[in-house]
Structure 1
Amino acid sequence: MAITDNIHPIYTLWFLWVDPALTVMGMWVNFLDHNLALQAFFSTRPPAALFAPFLYQIGGMGTSYLILMLTLLRYTHDVNIWKMVQGAILPADFTMLTAVYMGLKMENNLALGGWRWEDWFSVIITVICTEAALKSSCRR
């Protein structure tokens, strides 16, 4: 069995196409639309200019992940390399979930009934990404 056979087709689709597309969207928002970036966390947004340095930093982090996904994962189908890449990105997923939780808590909006579409989108997409990374990095 070739080492390529160990990467399930769903992970190939997700990590070579879907996750990079989501990362590009996140980078675009963090670099170019600061108001939308803040809207993902706060319904009563503070002025975006105050958060611009942090949003650029988040966009830069996404750029690093995107380069790994578009180059390293396409260069090799070594399942161990794929696991290492996903393991390296996992902390960002957990941090994103923590950030969403903190934003909802700051807005006194932890009750599911009060969530906006932005809240649902952030949580659902991040949970799917986290679950896929966990499953692929723990696969034997």
Structure 2
Amino acid sequence: MAVTSTKDIPIFYKFYFLWSDPLICLWAVYMDFFTPSVVVNAFIPSSIAPRNPQFDFLLQQLGGALLMLAILDVVLLRYSKDVMIWKILQAATLTYDLAMLYSTYDALKSQGRLSFASMRPAEDWGNVGITGLAVVVRSAFLLDVGMKGGKGRREKAI
């Protein structure tokens, strides 16, 4: 039997999608708009290339996309009791997370910094860790892991 109501969603997923995810998005929005040097340095160390303020509009667009996602998390997920709506939003957001992981990989590769030793703890591991956790949580949710009545729960043999 498939999960159809949000009352069947475990508290962990509810907390992550309704509170943690929007707060992470809002933190990133703040960073994109008000601390662009920190954001750029997180992907391209200033020792490799200095920040060019003419490209700040890209960070502002990224911030706008993350603000939209935060609003969808806060408003749409609280409005809808339909698990399929939750799954559609999480599937769409998962594609964004995967694009973020790929772009981080591509940036590190082009900078010759793919080895574990060359990755910076806060910036590189922080980016990969936060986004990687989101990928794991969203994937588990989409696969019904831990859901009442979902595929991720073992049924008792009769």
TM-score (norm. length: structure 2): 0.82
Is the Cα contact below 8 Å between 2:98 and 2:135 reproduced in 1?
A: yes
Establish whether residue 111 from structure 1 lines up as the match of residue 141 from structure 2. no
Q: Report which of the two has the higher share of helix.
A: 1
- In the alignment, what sits opposite 1:55? 59
Output the CA distance in 1 between the equivalents of 2:105 and 2:6: 37
C-alpha distance in 1, partners of 2:18/2:33? 22
- Aligned position for 1:22: 24
Q: Which has the higher contact order (CA 8 A, sep 6+)?
A: 2
Amino acid in the other structure paired with 2:71 = I
| Equivalent residue number for residue 132 of structure 1 | 137
Describe the shift of the 1:131–1:124 C-alpha distance in structure 2 as closer, same or farther (beyond 3 A): same
Letter in 1 for 2:134: C
Number of residue pairs matched? 140
Look up the match of 2:147. Answer: none
SS at match of 2:81: coil
Segments of 4+ in structure 1 off by > 3 A? none
d(CA) in 1 for partners of 2:83, 2:4: 10
Contact 1:23–1:66 (8 Å) recurs in 2:
yes
Tell me the residue number matched to 1:36: 38
Compute the displacement of 1:7 (Å). 1.0
> Percent same amino acid among aligned pairs?
32
Judge which range, 48-57 or 118-127, deviates more.
48-57
Gaps of 5+ in 1: none
How far apart, CA to CA, are the structure 1 residues paired with 2:40 and 2:19?
A: 26
CA contact (8 A) 1:35 1:48 kept: no
Q: 1:2 offset after TM fit, Å?
A: 7.5
Q: CA deviation at 1:133?
A: 1.1
1:64-104 deviation per Cα after TM superposition (whole angstroms, max 9, x unaligned): 10110010011123211110110111111011101111221
> Equivalent residue for 2:94?
90
